Amino acid sequence: MKKRINLLQHRFKEKSNEHIYQIVKKFSSIASLLLFIIFLVVSVLFVQLSQSRKKTELEKQQLLTYLLQQKELEAKIMYFKQKQTQLDNYVKNDARFIRYYKVLNTSLSYATNSPILVSVEIDKDRNTSFTVRVQDVGSAVSFLKYVESQQFLQFFNDLSLTHFNLLEPDYKRKSSSYEFAFRGQFNLLTND
């Protein structure tokens, strides 16, 4: 048996393998280039994200410091808010007493021998009770006539005499006087 070595055939095999090596070499260099580019992009994004996070944390620290410094202002704002709420509740429940008191006082001044307004109560629904004092019998009669007149009753939805009292003279009063207590409801006043 003879052995022969064919150098040409062996050379073609190496050339065909060399072509595969070239393809693998090109593929690996392209893949490594792509991986390097991806690595650079990811690195740049990571650095930007890190800087953004640091900037956000710095702003957070500044705002927290500012908030801590502004505690006194916040306490004043809360105090003001509570006072505003109290004022709103007061206005909501306010009887607007002064308008009705002026109407009552002015209308009583038109009576003969002007009676003295002793006490007045007015609630937010315009319900009222008031006490009036006059000095003598003549003043009492003229005052009752005035109270029954349309000029006085135009300010009330209803009005009734609830109590009548004769006050005897004492060391404060030289003569007897009369007190009349009324209860009723004012008409709604639309203008000031």
Residue 192 has pLDDT above 60, yes or no: no
Q: Residue 27 is encoded by which pair of tokens?
A: 């593929």
Angle between helices 71-93 and 7-69 (to 10 degrees): 60
Most confident stretch, 1-10, 23-32, 87-96? 23-32
- What pairs with residue 85 in β-bridges? none
Q: Give domain limits for the chain.
A: 1-93, 97-186
Query: Span 17-23, mean pLDDT?
Result: 82
Residue 154: partners with Cβ closer than 8 Å, 6 or more residues away: 187
pLDDT tens digits for range 147-165: 888 888 888 888 888 988 8
CATH of span 97-186: 3.30.1360.100
Q: Please name which of 112, 101, 102 lies closest in space to residue 146, comparing C-alpha atoms.
A: 112
Q: Residue 89 is encoded by which pair of tokens?
A: 């509740």
Q: Does the predicted TM-score (pTM) go above 0.75?
A: no
Residue 9 has pLDDT above 80, yes or no: no
The identity of residue 114, as a single letter, is: S
